[in-house]
């Protein structure tokens, strides 16, 4: 044909928020923004300076923005199996996963095609990670996530010191590992006058009678 050319949509439509100029540009001035998702078929007719025409069918797909939707990473325990699947929304096609910044704890690996973090962590650690998801057309999304690996929760205190009737008593039951804050409960019966602080695990008070008791 002979320039200049004039373009017009003759059937179908563009997504809401997009327009096409007579020069054939979709997104006039580069500022148009689609407001709905979906696949939109349409036909364009071009006319040249001599009145010759041609028609071609097109299809434009609009996706939601790619975003990593995993809110946080589960806490790992040293010596115990770990498994969590990263999640993303939007984008097009399948996702490819990677650790963009930071290092995974020793013993944990990321499957780049499924987004599964799995393995058996070997040591306690706190890792600051930047996770990247990439869709099938190269769009990328990033998210800062923290992966904490801690030792198994265990009691350090094995026995409690004896108390004396009518004398103030205070002793903390100590633990290690796990992830603070802790919540403590017990079964059995404390001596009259003593109570357990469920946040600090301090047994305190003034016992008013002599007795031997077991609690768990």
Q: Quick one: pLDDT at residue 30?
A: 54
Is 149's pLDDT higher than 60?
A: yes
The 8-class DSSP code of residue 3 comes to S
168-188 tens-digit pLDDT? 999 999 999 988 899 999 999
**Averaged over 80-104, what is the pLDDT?**
96
Cα-Cα-Cα-Cα dihedral sign, residues 11, 14, 19, 23: negative
Q: What is the mean pLDDT of the chain?
A: 94
pTM over 0.85: no
Q: Sorting pLDDT into bands at 50, 70 and 90, what band is 31?
A: low
Residue 30's φ and ψ, nearest 5 degrees, are 70, 15
CA 128 to each of CA 99, 105, 164, 214: distance values in angstroms, whole numbers, following the listed order: 10, 10, 49, 43
Residue that has been written with the tokens 């969590």 in this structure: 84
Rounded CA separation 81/60 (Å): 45
Beta bridge pairs of residue 170: 204
Q: Quick one: pLDDT at residue 118?
A: 98
Q: Quick one: pLDDT at residue 32?
A: 78
122 contacts 84 by C-beta, under 8 angstroms? no
Is 70's pLDDT higher than 70?
A: yes
**Averaged over 70-86, what is the pLDDT?**
96
186-195 tens-digit pLDDT? 999 999 999 9
């Amino acid at each position: 044909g002979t320039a200049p050319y004039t373009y017009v949509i003759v059937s179908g439509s563009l997504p809401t928020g997009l327009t096409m100029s007579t020069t054939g540009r979709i997104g006039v001035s580069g500022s148009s923004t689609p407001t709905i998702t979906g696949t939109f078929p349409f036909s364009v007719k071009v006319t040249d300076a001599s009145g010759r025409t041609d028609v071609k069918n097109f299809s434009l797909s609009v996706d939601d923005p790619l975003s990593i939707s995993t809110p946080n990473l589960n806490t790992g325990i040293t010596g115990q199996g770990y498994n969590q699947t990263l999640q993303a929304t939007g984008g097009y096609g399948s996702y490819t996963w990677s650790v963009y910044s930071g290092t995974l704890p020793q013993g944990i690996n990321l499957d780049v095609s499924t987004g599964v973090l799995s393995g058996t962590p070997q040591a306690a650690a706190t890792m600051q990670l930047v996770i990247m998801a990439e869709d099938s057309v190269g769009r990328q999304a990033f998210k800062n996530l923290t992966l904490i690996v801690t030792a198994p929760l265990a009691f350090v205190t094995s026995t409690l010191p004896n108390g004396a009737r009518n004398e103030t008593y205070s002793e903390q039951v100590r633990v290690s590992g796990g992830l603070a804050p802790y919540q403590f409960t017990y079964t059995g019966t404390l001596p009259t006058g003593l109570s357990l602080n469920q946040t600090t695990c301090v047994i305190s008070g003034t016992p008013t009678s002599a007795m031997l008791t077991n609690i768990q």
